[in-house]
Amino acid sequence: MSYSLQLESSLTGHTDDHVWCVAWNASGDQLASCSSDRTVRIWTKDANTAGGYSQGGWRCTAILEDAHTRTIRSCAWSPNGRHLATASFDATTAIWEQNSGIWEQVATLEGHENEVKCIAWSPDGSFLSTCGRDKSVWIWESIPGNEFECVDVKQGHTQDVKCVRWHPSGDIVASCSYDNTIKMWVSDGDDWVCSQTLGAAGGVAGHTSTAWSLSFEPEVGDHMVTSSDDCTLRIWSRYAPLGSHPGQATSPSSGTAAKGGGRSGKPTWRLSTTLSGYHNRPIYSCDWSKSGLIAAGDGDNAIKVYHSSKAPSMRTEDSQLHGSFQWQLLTCKEQAHAQDVNCVKWHPSDPTLLASAGDDGCVKLWRCQP
Amino acid sequence: MDNTYGSHLINPNPVVHERKSVQKVTTSLRVSSSDESVREPIDALEIFDHLRDITDPEHPYTLEQLNVVAEELIEVDDQQGRVRVRFTPTVPHCSMATLIGLCIRVKLLRTLPPRFKIDIQVTPGSHASEAAVNKQLGDKERVAAALENPNLLEMVERCLGSA
């Protein structure tokens, strides 16, 4: 069956070319977009679509401004949809609260030395993570009363950190960087420690240039996808810790495999698939849908969607299932935007709806279906 | 010279070349097509014309006079909308390389139609940190952040003032 990406809505309004990021709220009736114009726009699905809005039933219901003095690079909704966090090149992260459709800035998170590049909420909304040009990853705790307290600052990347994401379980933060690596940070009591560096020199094969974005497989989180300046997507799979699987012997070979950075008692992540040859320019964004599709947006103005014939569950070190992933291009949309595609995000519940943001100043909604 | 960059010149005695007497190709000079829908292709000479008179950040000379840019180091694929400019720093340890590259990128962002994808790189073998400089110049996020830095933008504008 042949699929296609059909443009459903084109949402215009940002006054600067770069729209960097889009984020759906959990219920999927609001979409936030942020831009170099230093604003966030909230797009709300009109309940009466028949009303004939020119933008396909979505309209801009709020503009969040005056909090940041430079580009807003990233935005993220809290899981309950009441808060929106925005990360800016002005070195701050702002927290906004929505009450009866009215938005108010309720907190500012300061600490990064310069550009904050990404912000992500933990799945239960009790923590946030930020990262930036100062090579650090910060973990913040959300305290009642709109207070946010920094609980840890992780140094480790040797260059700016481009993206942070929480594992669906809430006990892993993954970060990817200009230093070409992905680091897995795990909670160890009060501290967060780096359990593994993916793509480090001498370790497992990884990206050969900047890792721009990553996305965990939703819900179970046995896999994640990363996108890179090297024009590839890489899919990484989680393996059970040594000894946790009945009947598994601690063989010399499995010991060697764990040398890539795995801590005993913690799952290790290993490269399972590299998707290369599909993209001509850097891939700035990737997103894994609940229905198992991976969308990727690139610097060649294209959006590509991949599907897998098989989604294996968590495997152990000794199982030789590499290559059993059959990832294939499902559909692609060349010239999805008139310029670079900076962000792609699947709707949280409608498996056929995809949002994208580009350097052409547009936010677009796409239908991915036969 | 307005010395904003410290007292030590990185290359105190650069070789200065003549400005080539290539005819400037402007849109008005080009042969106009009778068919309005036919796009006038952009070629390497036109790109070179946009860049040749940029002032070097360190010297009161243009990038052409210092042989930092040259027409033969510019590749254009008009059909695909691709431009690759290679530039040659005057010394292999030139710390101004990323600033020069930024100036070239800004100039082209301002003059070329947005359908062009622009890659700026140093000429292979011409810089001690070639890979690092190329990576920095190719990172759109760093470029965007740099251009929000008022001091850096002022330096870029000064270099572009002559171009």
A220: confidence class by pLDDT, cuts 50, 70, 90: very high
Rounded mean pLDDT, A58-70? 95
What pLDDT is recorded for position A324? 57
Greater confidence, A37 or A249? A37
Chain B residues whose C-beta is within 8 A of a chain A C-beta are: 114-115, 117, 135, 138-142, 144-145, 148
pLDDT tens profile B107-156: 999 999 999 999 999 999 999 999 999 999 999 999 999 999 999 999 99
Q: What is the mean pLDDT of chain A?
A: 89
Least confident of A3-12, A38-47, A250-259, A292-301: A250-259
Listed range (A59-73, A204-218, B20-34, B37-51) with the worst mean pLDDT = B20-34
* Band (B19; pLDDT cuts 50, 70, 90): confident
Q: Is A213 left (phi over 0), alpha (psi -120 to 50) or beta?
A: beta
pLDDT at B135: 97
Cβ pair B135:A210 closer than 8 A: yes
Task: Give domain limits for chain A.
Answer: 4-369
User: What is the pLDDT at residue A257?
Assistant: 39
Task: Give the model confidence (pLDDT) of B43-61 as tens digits.
Answer: 999 999 999 999 999 999 9
Question: Exposed (0-12), middle (13-18) or buried (19+): which is B151, by Cβ within 10 Å?
Answer: exposed
Please name which of B38, B22, B19, B27 lies closest in space to residue B111, comparing C-alpha atoms.
B27
What are the angstrom distances between the C-alpha of A157 and each of A163, A179, A183, A276? 12, 7, 8, 25
Residue A204: predicted pLDDT: 60
Mapped onto helix, strand or coil, the DSSP state of residue A258 is helix
The beta-carbon neighbor of B114 closest among A160, A299, A339 is A339
What proportion of chain A, given as a percentage, has pLDDT over 90?
79
Q: Which residues of B touch A73 (CB under 8 A)?
A: 141
Select from B83, B118, B141 the residue whose CB has the most chain A CBs within 10 Å, as the one to mutate to test that interface. B141
The model's pLDDT over A340-350, given as tens digits with 9 standing for 90+, comes to 999 999 999 99
What share of residues in chain B are helix, strand, coil (percent, to 5)? 35, 10, 55
Residue A197 · residue A259 · CB < 8 Å? no
Q: Give residue A171's pLDDT.
A: 93
How sure is the predictor about B4, in pLDDT bands with cuts at 50, 70 and 90?
Answer: very low
> What length is written for chain A?
370
Q: What Å distances lie between residue A172 and A142, A292, B11, CA to CA?
A: 17, 21, 50
- CB–CB of A115 and B140 under 8 A? no
Task: Evaluate if residue A54 carries a pLDDT over 70.
Answer: no
pLDDT, average across residues A88-100: 97
Per-residue pLDDT of A224-245, as tens digits, reads 999 999 999 999 999 987 655 4
Is there a contact between A128 and A166 (Cβ–Cβ < 8 Å)? no
Contact residues, chain B, for A340 at CB < 8 Å: 140
pLDDT band at A53 (very low <50, low <70, confident <90, very high): very low
Q: Say yes or no for a CB contact (<8 Å) between A338 and B141.
A: no
Residue A299 and residue B140: Cβ atoms within 8 Å?
yes
Q: Do B145 and A89 touch (CB under 8 A)?
A: yes
Which domains can be identified in chain B, with CATH numbers? 44-160 (3.30.300.130)
Q: Mean pLDDT throughout A321-332?
A: 77
Structure ipTM = 0.88
| Nearest Cα residue in chain B from A228 | B139
pLDDT of residue A48: 63
CB neighbours of residue B157 within 10 Å: 11
The pLDDT, as a whole number, for residue B1 is 38
Residue pLDDT, tens place only, A164-202 = 999 999 999 999 999 999 999 999 887 899 999 999 765
Pick the more confident residue, A189 or A210.
Answer: A210
Is residue A289 classed exposed, middle or buried when 0-12, 13-18 and 19+ CB atoms within 10 A define those classes? Answer: buried
pLDDT band of A106, cuts 50, 70, 90 = very high
CB A285 within 8 A of CB A343: yes
* For residues A79-91, average pLDDT: 97
Higher pLDDT, residue B152 or A251:
B152
Q: Which own/partner pairs from A272-277 qualify as long-range (CB within 8 Å, at least 24 positions apart)? A: A272/A223, A272/A235, A272/A236, A272/A237, A272/A322, A272/A325, A273/A234, A273/A235, A273/A325, A273/A327, A274/A232, A274/A233, A274/A234, A274/A235, A275/A232, A275/A233, A275/A234, A275/A235, A275/A306, A275/A327, A276/A231, A276/A232
Give chain B positions within 8 Å (CB) of A229.
Answer: 135, 138-139
Q: How far apart are CA A348 and CA A79, in angstroms?
A: 11
The pLDDT, as a whole number, for residue B36 is 53
B144 chain-A contacts, CB cut-off 8 A: 18, 36, 71, 89
Residue B143 Cα, gap to closest chain A Cα (Å):
12
Q: For the residues A136-163, what does the mean pLDDT come to? A: 96
What backbone torsions phi and psi does residue A178 show, to the nearest 5 degrees?
A: -60, -20
Q: Which of A131-140, A209-218, B25-34 has the lowest mean pLDDT?
A: B25-34
**Could you tell me the sign of the dihedral formed by the alpha carbons of A201, A184, A321, A257, in that order?**
positive
Residues of chain A with Cβ-Cβ distance to B141 below 8 Å are: 73, 117, 162
Predicted local confidence at residue A250, as pLDDT: 37
How many residues are present in chain B?
A: 163
Q: Do A229 and B144 touch (CB under 8 A)?
A: no
Mean pLDDT within A267-291 = 95
Closest-CA residue of chain B to A91 = B145
Q: Which of B77, B140, B152 to mutate to test the interface with A (most CBs of A within 10 A)?
A: B140
Q: Is B90 helix (H, G, I), strand (E, B) or coil?
A: coil
The predicted structure's pLDDT at residue B38: 64
In CATH, which superfamily holds the domain spanning A4-369? Answer: YVTN repeat-like/Quinoprotein amine dehydrogenase (2.130.10.10)
Show residues of chain B in contact with A210, CB under 8 Å: 135, 139
Q: Taking an 8 Å Cβ-Cβ cutoff, which residues of chain A contact chain B?
A: 18, 36, 70-71, 73, 89, 114-115, 117, 133, 160, 162, 178, 209-210, 229, 281-282, 299-300, 338-340, 360
Query: What 3-state class would DSSP assign to A99?
Result: strand
Which residues touch A122 (CB under 8 Å, ≥6 apart)?
A128, A129, A166, A170
Residue A219, pLDDT score: 92
Local confidence band at B8 (pLDDT 50, 70, 90 cut-offs):
low
| DSSP single-letter state for residue B24 | P
What's the mean pLDDT when you consider all of chain B? 87
pLDDT band at B33 (very low <50, low <70, confident <90, very high): very low
Q: Is B156 helix (H, G, I), strand (E, B) or coil?
A: helix
- A-chain CB neighbours of B109 within 8 Å are none
